[in-house]
Structure 1
């Protein structure tokens, strides 16, 4: 099958791009990300950077991206704190006192919506809880007191982890869980995988769902949220989730597109296709042999990226037909096979750097 000439990006008018694990890790840019994003902008398409991390203001995020060489304005950054503040205003109205739990991004978002940010539970009509590196027991206790008193509780996101340049750290979800445990109340969540953050991003782009491509590295947030919003999704393998995670992903977490990194935007996308008893992608042909111990049988080799797409299509087909269980696709030999694919992807990416 001949690779299409038009780059993947050309099928869309706007892009909603995640940040942590896609554009940067901590303070370091992901390899090839900046150059790929420059090409997107030069093509005339708009990019909105949507992040579940509510700790920083859009201006602070934009400044970091600018230092890395990305061309954007402050308005091109959309945070879960902004989506959360908008939800709070919908529920309690303009001018309400809101307990702000999290970093400066939370307080700034509340001010943008004409709300009064406070650090005390007394008289707070609502709580907006987002991530903050300095959030401690006192802030969590104030949130619990306010929620117990009947305040509306909005959480920017419930990500269990946060990728940093030192590794994986606890995310806002762990802090939200502490307040939930103390109160027995569930928050109104606006960040990915819930749809409000994507809806706000689409309004910034002024594109409808069919014209919008979402990019992320996390299946449970970025991809699940895009699917819920009816937006096509591209997962890049530069962050949290890798080939084995994709293989075992439930339907609602599966992306339409898979690429090693953001360079995939600038090339024609070779999609997998079903053969009589196998799946192919470009020259790669793969079938999943079912039985007590399912295994991937490579009929024909190809580039690692094509091999991965064919193997994922074959695996998902086997799961959806009931032939194998998703958990069996990542055990024992199968688990080692996905690891080998990940190694090949890394080698191919390094050789084309």
Structure 2
């Protein structure tokens, strides 16, 4: 368990007999769970044969979640503090839901306050989990947004997971557009161009211009333009997003000539050993070593796979030099994004799903930080981390509600009254 939730998942699955058809994961602190709900989950599985069966209340999935044995390998492949959440996201369209009327059946205890509310429920018998505290809680959470005038928004794990949209993205962007709130998408992913991101967002019903998308490639190209002579020659590992950004700034790109001003490394799914060999030789010959981002892993439909940070780590080992990193959590990408947004750091909130990049970078650079729990960071990992964001939201649906509350406060009328 010290290595994260994934090890507990594997331990449980490995203890099952080979003939077991499915397994339900039950939280030890889900105090309102009933045998009747467990029976309903099993009956739904037997009736449908669905790969995942989960309870649902108010449009949100809860626990326990039942998984068909065909998904056991995917569950065992999870690492760190990831449980079944990522597998559910990958198969969201195939989830069989069991409606639950009583929210207390899905209630689990994560804090002393939760325990106190559970005791009150047992005594009073009619207090819903968020009961009379819901409005106060929303007002308290929205206080984190009082100084915010604009947003920087991560993409992967915030608006979508691979090809699946995540809750609230379209509604949140519509609210920002309608209210005239400045925003920019800010992603460490260097593979796509802004136009390609525009097209991907459009598939999820989000209509924005390419100028709203800032990638680590754009920030890298801008940094190199400021620090290298015009037309400098660069050895580049990367894909369309990085190649286009550098060419638009007038750089000469090569993978043959090792007499270059800099080696620039972005994510490249076509990477070969020869690319690594040549990049190593160029850096050891005196070229600067620049990385678009440090993300060691990347979420895919198959699970968590190597990211650009893994490529950078290989080159750092081979060159015995540390790369100069542009992307989150480092300052260059935030400085570039703030210039594009036209706001000072203290008036901007960074919204992302990673503590080690989105939240850390925001705090280093003086921005407000908002962590969403629909991506790579679980609620358990967020609670246990010494790195605490200014605001934690389940997803963009919750953040949209809080921003609507804050806008109403500024107009002098509480939201929803």
Fold-level match, TM-score > 0.5? yes
Name structure 2 gaps, 5 residues minimum. Answer: 1-132, 404-417
Partner of 2:375: 239
Give per-residue Cα distances to partners, 1:170-228, cap 9 Å, x unaligned. 11111111111111011110111101111111111111112211100000001101111
Unaligned runs of at least 5 residues, structure 1:
270-353
Is it true that 1:254 corresponds to 2:388 in the alignment?
yes
Deviation string, structure 1 residues 25-67 (Cα, Å, up to 9, x no partner): 1122112222222222222112211111111111111111122
- Whole-Å Cα distance in 1 between the matches of residues 150 and 230 of structure 2? 31
Partner of 2:179: 43
For the pair 1:12 / 2:148, whether they are aligned, the reply is yes
RMSD: 1.9
| Rg comparison, structure with higher value | 2
Q: Go from structure 1 to structure 2 and tell me whether the alpha carbon gap of 1:166 and 1:31 turns closer, same or farther (over 3 Å shift).
A: farther
Q: Which residue of 2 aligns with 1:27?
A: 163
Please name the residue that 1:57 is paired with: 193
- Secondary structure of 1:100's counterpart equals strand
- Cα contact 1:128–1:155 (8 A) shared by 2: yes
* Match status 1:138 vs 2:307: no
> How many residues are paired up?
267
Residue of structure 2 equivalent to 1:273: none
Q: Which consecutive segments of 4 or more residues in structure 1 shift more than 4 A? A: 5-11
Q: Which of residues 138, 149, 156 is equivalent to 2:292?
A: 156
Whole-Å separation in 2 of the counterparts to 1:262 and 1:204:
23
Cα distance in 2, alignment partners of residues 114 and 6 from structure 1: 46
State the secondary structure of the residue aligned to 1:4: helix
Cα distance, 1:7 vs structure 2 = 5.8
Write out per-residue CA displacement over residues 293-316 of structure 1, whole angstroms, 9 at most, x where no aligned residue: xxxxxxxxxxxxxxxxxxxxxxxx
- Calculate the TM-score normalised by the size of structure 1: 0.72
Deviation at 1:100, TM superposition (A): 1.2
Shift of 1:92: 2.1
| Alpha carbons of structure 1 residues 239 and 268: separation in structure 2 relative to 1, 3 Å | closer
The equivalent residue for 1:182 is 318
Decide whether the 8 Å contact of 1:48 with 1:78 is kept in 2: yes
Query: How many Å apart are 1:268 and its aligned residue?
Result: 3.8
Q: Equivalent residue of 2:270, what SS?
A: coil
1:49-128 matched pairs, under 5 angstroms: 49-128=185-264
Q: Distance in 1 between matches of 2:302 and 2:206?
A: 23
Taking the aligned partners of 2:340 and 2:375, their CA distance within structure 1 comes to 25
2:168·2:400 contact (CA, 8 Å) conserved in 1?
no
Question: 1:11 Cα shift?
Answer: 4.5
Pairing 1:252-331 to 2, within 5 Å after superposition? 253-268=387-402
